[in-house]
Amino acid sequence: MRGVDPAWLPDGVFRPIGTRRTLIRGSGPLVDTVHTEVAGACARFGGRVDLDAGPGGAAYDLALELTGDGDGSEAFTCGRADGRTTVTASGGRGLLYGLFHVVRLGEAAFQGAYPPELFRPRVALRMLDHWDNVAVHPVMGQVERGYAGGSLFWQDGRARGDLERVRAYGRLLAACGINAVAVNNVNVHATEARLLTDRIGEVAEIAGALRPYGIRTHLSVTFAAPVVLGGLASADPLDAEVRAWWARAVAGVYAAIPDFGGFVVKADSEGQPGPFAYGRTHADGANMLAAALEPHGGTVHWRAFVYDHRQDWRDRTTDRARAAYDHFVPLDGEFADNAVLQIKHGPLDFQVREPVSPLIGAMPGTRLAVELQATQEYTGQQRHVCWLGPMWSEVLRFPVEQGSSVGELARGGLVAVSNVGDDPFWTGHPLAQANLYTFGRLAWQPDADPAAVLDEWIRLTFPDPPEPLTDGLHAVLDGSWRTYEKYTAPLGVGFMVQPGHHYGPSVDGYEYSPWGTYHFADRDGLGVDRSRATGTGYAGQYGKPWSEVYESTDTCPDELLLFFHHVSYGHMLHSGTTVIQHIYDTHFEGVEEVEAAREVWASLAGLVDPARHARVAELFEEQLRSAREWRDQINSYFFRKSGVPDAHGRRI
Amino acid sequence: MRGVDPAWLPDGVFRPIGTRRTLIRGSGPLVDTVHTEVAGACARFGGRVDLDAGPGGAAYDLALELTGDGDGSEAFTCGRADGRTTVTASGGRGLLYGLFHVVRLGEAAFQGAYPPELFRPRVALRMLDHWDNVAVHPVMGQVERGYAGGSLFWQDGRARGDLERVRAYGRLLAACGINAVAVNNVNVHATEARLLTDRIGEVAEIAGALRPYGIRTHLSVTFAAPVVLGGLASADPLDAEVRAWWARAVAGVYAAIPDFGGFVVKADSEGQPGPFAYGRTHADGANMLAAALEPHGGTVHWRAFVYDHRQDWRDRTTDRARAAYDHFVPLDGEFADNAVLQIKHGPLDFQVREPVSPLIGAMPGTRLAVELQATQEYTGQQRHVCWLGPMWSEVLRFPVEQGSSVGELARGGLVAVSNVGDDPFWTGHPLAQANLYTFGRLAWQPDADPAAVLDEWIRLTFPDPPEPLTDGLHAVLDGSWRTYEKYTAPLGVGFMVQPGHHYGPSVDGYEYSPWGTYHFADRDGLGVDRSRATGTGYAGQYGKPWSEVYESTDTCPDELLLFFHHVSYGHMLHSGTTVIQHIYDTHFEGVEEVEAAREVWASLAGLVDPARHARVAELFEEQLRSAREWRDQINSYFFRKSGVPDAHGRRI
């Protein structure tokens, strides 16, 4: 698409297919998509594609065979024998994923022979939530927490007339395995509320653009819809009139979008309406929507991000980290089968380092989705390089209890808040594309090696990369999350950001606020005591072994120490350094690592196209400025407070 | 005026005149205003007014006599003999002020006999600067730092069609002695720039509404006007084409408004354009505008609020407090006669406690205006009771050097940033009206006793107040500024406010910012060393004795200690308590004083009209909430940092 970066689907990645002869068997809308893709590649590179047997006797290099008659199944096999690579799938989606698998393999797909291997996603729902507003919000802008321009979907107060860009987006998402998109912000304002009813046609237009790539469309709705749209006196989920209203509304949605995915709901959270107003539970609320969706095969994703955002900072007993568990665990087993509880991966809010939410291990009778944040709200806002693959992988592989990992427990799906807007590079920072790609691939296979995924992304995005480029990109990206962690809030303490927009340091920015995000630093030490013995008891929300591991400073991992414990500046870490010296050291190191990464990027000038190189180079200047600001504010703050000089005598 | 509070001109204050017989001699527009006022009073209360001798032989209780033929002079005499009170003035403005003098005296004006006394303003220009935007600013709103609703002058992007409210405003201002109003924000945005040229007609409409009350209209202009409005390539003040452009623009202004007052200019300050871009000085810039205004009798008010707002907080040698002096003292003697340098009363920015700006004593060859802030940006934003009379009086009486006070040195005028908007009570908080009134009266007579001015305001605003009401209002207002000081930033250190909107506490809110406003608190102490010996040298900008008084902690007044010195928490104040204990004590006291004031106000319920009483009562709840927040954040911050417990064992 002209003027828009091809991301991980530049023409070149289709060369191995486009130069060969391909046979496609089967029919259906997604087979049409497969055919369009292959035919486009052949048109560019001189190959050939035939549908069904084609003109008899031709020898094919690649066969893409639909063995069933639905689009549903996403699994496929891929093998090679007798000089032919064969992909089979029982569903159209599987065939499409199989095609992109061959694209990812590149020339290797056509070398030698290998037995058929089955590929299927471990997680059925792999979704991006867009926090896009239809009407530009006076404070939050068009995309809440968006750092990549305006919305891909909405422009001038309605759905874009030209959906070419949305189609291109769907294609990129299919190529990394995403199969669901929620097209509007979970904070549903007045304009957006109406997407559910009289403006559903606009959602249907978007759904139509995404459908050819196997992507179902979801909608964020307001719990108050029966009141604000329907004119009812109540939104009580047990009220028959309310339930009937929702049933009619859902029927209207499915009339417009037969394969509609379902709703995303943020209720009784940060001011959004919810069932509490009627003395009902979250399960009552979710189940009402689930009942309306059930006849049509839809799902409600009910967010667990519920806490008191008007907390008194003087009150050290209330602990926001406890809130989701305390609210939802008593409701385990009460949610309908098509109600999914969508849980942020950590107990707070997408900080650079948090423990895994204890709620994830505590809801055996509930379908759970785990929500990650691709948009870099707290991780540099797409002005900093911060590849989140290692963080997400740590989260997804985390053995919650009884051997089950987060990735395994997320039976209701893996969700990421999208980092995409109408920016020419999609994600603002060109290298932030790697986060989107990595999320898709990890959602497909949560135990995948993130470094291998990054390798894949590099080979696709920069076709035939010379070794210095591959090495350089790894050098810049591999450790970027840990680098970001080093120069920002230390040891899991979180939230030392500027209030409101969340960019840049402010150590006390949220310290005396109602948001429940504190560090309690004083002249002696810092951190939040969340132990059972002497603190808020949050550590006790975990099953074994984690409740014990986190309970004691002896066993708590360094990187989460200040999340779980209030310790003195002189406290010795397992790493062998004191907390205060760790703060100084990591902040100096973090900046040095950004300086080094900037140098590496500069050295890649001849190996990357000039526009992309220039954009990243420019952003590195801002990242470095910001990292130095973080270093100096954090170090100055803690030096002033602790009075402890740097052991290495550096100027603070 | 219906639906709008009468402030200090309720009908009742005209009863003593309105029940009597008045003779008015003379003619002219302001005599017409005087006649209208007296005739209105007589219509309400049954008295009589005659122009000139009137129907022969009548005995008059009051004679208002114009002895000259201009409106210019503002002086008047007032005396009483032979049962008649006589006001004489050589100018219409003087006669109007004389009328309001009689209004203020009330029945006492008509009792006994007293010799003629001459009254004349000590300060020729007594101005309110409105920081009003014509087009609502996306961040700053319609009135920058306004806490009383929208603009009185501008609505829906243009001058109000109905100027009745503006006329009523002019009447209130005349009654307290104001004679000039600048009608738009000193930050001149694109829309407002055009008021100078094609939209001058709107300014003329406003000027027409204010003129009958002796008020001249001034306009804030952008230094870049020749470029942004005139299409010139430059705004260089020494460029002949630029000077010719301004001459033409000014001629256009005077064609529309023959008694136009002049310009207010914020140049090379916080991003506003100025002469620096052309390598010229502030004197070059001001003098260019002065030259254009001079043939018409106009004045340019050139603001001295110039400093580096992109300072590096790590740099402790740069001191924003020094900036105005460093910029302007070298230019003393270079400004034209009709160029007035307008200096904020303190070196920073309208904090609750600052020393007097040293620039005021250092420009003997320049006409100076001193700028105060009636709008309570840093003093409670008209949600807190904070009567600023005592602060302004301290400033105006401050003996700068060689026996001259600030009030005497302000030969170019006294200016206040207005606290008025389209709120029904004019000032948001009904008791903030007292600030507006007090400013007017102190501008007329800078050495007036503020308590006597407050008494005047009480008697006018609450006609015939019973003693408990007078006592109650004094109890609520007299000490309110010191109360506010107690519960906010301590000992002159300033700027512990929330960034941006400046309401509520944030101890470190500006500590690591580029704005040059720091407290440097660490675990040992706090404050800014501005001494010559070891600090930024700012103390040396004062003449004697102040340069010596402020230089040493031995002589520096307690209330300014942290403005001038960095001291330990254990430093003993002259008051006999330590700095840290002073912080704790004053913050507890401040809240207790608010609680007490709230109780006093509650006790006045039957003595104040219900709407006014309810509004103040409601605001007291917010003031108390906010004061407690201030107390707890400040005390917690310094307890955490110092580790020193409260000597009285109170919970912090």
Q: Domain of B276: which CATH number?
A: 3.20.20.80
pLDDT in tens, A418-472: 999 999 999 999 999 999 999 999 999 999 999 999 999 999 999 899 999 999 9
Task: Locate the chain A residue with the closest alpha carbon to B512.
Answer: A633
pLDDT in tens, A170-228: 999 999 999 999 999 999 999 999 999 999 999 999 999 999 999 999 999 999 999 99
pLDDT at A17: 98
The answer to whether A590 contacts chain B (CB < 8 Å) is: no
pLDDT at B339: 98
| Whole-number average pLDDT of chain B | 96
Residue B505 and residue B437 in one domain: no
Q: How far apart, in whole angstroms, are the C-alpha atoms of residue A491 and residue A498?
A: 19
Tokens representing B380?
A: 């409670």
DSSP string computed for A83-104:
TEEEEEEEEHHHHHHHHHHHHH
Give the pLDDT band (50/70/90) at residue B586.
Answer: very high
Q: Is residue B551 part of a domain?
A: no
The tokens 């417990």 sit on which residue? B645
Question: Do A489 and A527 meet the contact criterion of CB atoms below 8 Å apart?
Answer: no
Mean pLDDT score, A287-297: 98
Strands of B148-261, DSSP E: 154-155, 158-159, 180-182, 216-220
pLDDT at B72: 67
The answer to whether A242 contacts chain B (CB < 8 Å) is: no
Question: Is the predicted pLDDT of residue B56 greater than 70, yes or no?
Answer: no
pLDDT at B1: 78
Mean pLDDT score, A271-298: 97
Q: Of the candidates B119, B135, B158, which is a domain's last residue? A: B119
Inter-chain Cβ pairs, chain A and chain B, closer than 8 A:
49
Residue B28 and residue B147 in one domain: no
The answer to whether B609 contacts chain A (CB < 8 Å) is: no
pLDDT at B53: 62
Question: Is the predicted pLDDT of residue A314 greater than 90, yes or no?
Answer: yes
Q: Is residue A470 part of a domain?
A: no
Q: Is A511 a catalytic residue?
A: no
Residue A98 and residue A178 in one domain: no
Q: Is A585 a catalytic residue?
A: no
Contacts of A506 in chain B (CB under 8 A): 508, 512
Q: Which of B52, B53, B89 is nearest to B74 (CA)?
A: B89
pLDDT at A402: 74
Mean pLDDT score, A395-415: 93
Which residues face B367 on adjacent strands? B340
Residue A76 and residue A144 in one domain: no
Question: Do B50 and B88 meet the contact criterion of CB atoms below 8 Å apart?
Answer: no
For the domain that residue A618 is a member of, what is the CATH number? 3.90.1330.10
For the domain that residue A54 is a member of, what is the CATH number? 3.30.379.10
Q: Which of residues 54-73 of A touch B (CB under 8 A)?
A: none
Which residues face A568 on adjacent strands? A525
pLDDT at A3: 87
Residue A457 and residue A600 in one domain: no
Mean pLDDT score, A70-75: 79
Q: Which of B506, B523, B629 sits opposite A641 (nearest CB)?
A: B523
pLDDT in tens, B496-523: 999 999 999 999 999 999 999 999 999 9
* Inter-chain residue contact B643 with A314, CB threshold 8 Å: no
Q: In this prediction, what percent of chain A has a pLDDT beyond 70? A: 99
| Whole-number average pLDDT of chain A | 96
pLDDT at A216: 98
The answer to whether B508 contacts chain A (CB < 8 Å) is: yes
pLDDT in tens, A568-617: 999 999 999 999 999 999 999 999 999 999 999 999 999 999 999 999 99
Q: Is residue B541 part of a domain?
A: no
Residue B264 and residue B215 in one domain: yes
Amino acid at A346: G
Q: Of the candidates B119, B151, B166, which is a domain's last residue? A: B119
Supply the range of the domain harboring residue B286: 126-461
* Inter-chain residue contact B508 with A512, CB threshold 8 Å: no
pLDDT at A631: 98
Catalytic residue among B11, B270, B312, B447: B270
Q: Of the candidates A104, A119, A134, which is a domain's last residue? A: A119
Residue A153 and residue A92 in one domain: no
Q: Which of B314, B522, B643 sits opposite A640 (nearest CB)?
A: B522
Catalytic residue among B377, B422, B551, B559: B377
Q: Is residue B143 part of a domain?
A: yes
Distance from CA of A510 to the nearest CA of B (A): 10
Question: Do A291 and A249 meet the contact criterion of CB atoms below 8 Å apart?
Answer: no
Q: Is residue B649 part of a domain?
A: no
Q: Is residue A575 part of a domain?
A: yes
First vs last C-alpha separation in chain B = 49
Helix (H, G, I), strand (E, B) or coil at B88: strand
Contacts of B524 in chain A (CB under 8 A): 643
Give the pLDDT band (50/70/90) at residue B138.
Answer: confident
Contacts of A512 in chain B (CB under 8 A): 505-506, 629, 632-633, 636-637
Q: Is residue A249 part of a domain?
A: yes
pLDDT at B69: 72
Q: How far apart, in whole angstroms, are the C-alpha atoms of residue A238 and residue A244?
A: 10
Q: Which of B508, B629, B643 sits opposite A508 (nearest CB)?
A: B508
Q: Is B349 a catalytic residue?
A: yes
Neighbours of A522 (CB within 10 A): 19
Residue B504 and residue B427 in one domain: no
pLDDT at B70: 66
Question: Is the predicted pLDDT of residue A1 greater than 90, yes or no?
Answer: no
Pairing relationship of beta strands B84-91 and B399-401 according to DSSP bridges: unpaired
Q: Which of B134, B172, B127, B177 is nearest to B427 (CA)?
A: B172
Mean pLDDT score, A324-353: 98
Instruction: Put residue A427 in one of left, alpha, beta given phi > 0 → left and psi -120 to 50 → alpha.
Output: alpha
Task: Locate the chain B residue with the closest alpha carbon to A498.
Answer: B509
Question: Is the predicted pLDDT of residue A629 greater than 80, yes or no?
Answer: yes
Question: Do A170 and A223 meet the contact criterion of CB atoms below 8 Å apart?
Answer: no
pLDDT at A259: 97
Amino acid at B7: A
Task: Locate the chain B residue with the closest alpha carbon to A628.
Answer: B314
pLDDT at A53: 62
Q: Which of B506, B522, B632 sits opposite A314 (nearest CB)?
A: B632
pLDDT in tens, A132-141: 999 999 889 9
B230-246: burial string, b at 16+ Cβ within 10 Å, e else: bebeebbbebeebbebb
pLDDT at A121: 97
Mean pLDDT score, B570-574: 98
pLDDT at B55: 56
Question: Is the predicted pLDDT of residue A56 greater than 70, yes or no?
Answer: no
Residue B242 and residue B196 in one domain: yes
Residue A109 and residue A66 in one domain: yes
pLDDT at A72: 67
Q: Which of B506, B632, B641 sits opposite A523 (nearest CB)?
A: B641
The answer to whether B523 contacts chain A (CB < 8 Å) is: yes
Question: Is the predicted pLDDT of residue A244 greater than 80, yes or no?
Answer: yes
Question: Do B420 and B152 meet the contact criterion of CB atoms below 8 Å apart?
Answer: yes
pLDDT at A70: 66
Mean pLDDT score, B335-363: 97
Q: Is residue B304 part of a domain?
A: yes
Residue A410 and residue A524 in one domain: no
Give the pLDDT band (50/70/90) at residue B240.
Answer: very high
* Inter-chain residue contact A641 with B505, CB threshold 8 Å: no
Write down the pTM of the prediction.
0.93
Catalytic residue among A377, A423, A485, A585: A377
Residue A105 and residue A167 in one domain: no
pLDDT at B57: 59
Question: Is the predicted pLDDT of residue B33 greater than 80, yes or no?
Answer: yes
Q: How far apart, in whole angstroms, are the C-alpha atoms of residue A35 and residue A23?
A: 9
pLDDT at B54: 54
The dihedral of CA A135, A139, A144, A148: what is its sign?
positive
Mean pLDDT score, B59-87: 91
Which residues face A401 on adjacent strands? A404
The number of distinct structural domains making up chain B is: 3
* Inter-chain residue contact B522 with A633, CB threshold 8 Å: no
Task: Locate the chain B residue with the closest alpha carbon to A509.
Answer: B509
Contacts of A636 in chain B (CB under 8 A): 314, 512
* Inter-chain residue contact B506 with A507, CB threshold 8 Å: no
Distance from CA of B566 to the nearest CA of A (A): 14
Task: Locate the chain A residue with the closest alpha carbon to B498.
Answer: A509
Q: Which of A508, A522, A633 sits opposite B507 (nearest CB)?
A: A508
The tokens 């709705």 sit on which residue? A221
Give the residue from A314, A503, A639 with the most B CB atoms within 10 Å of its CB, the best one to mutate: A314
Pairing relationship of beta strands A126-129 and A180-182 according to DSSP bridges: parallel
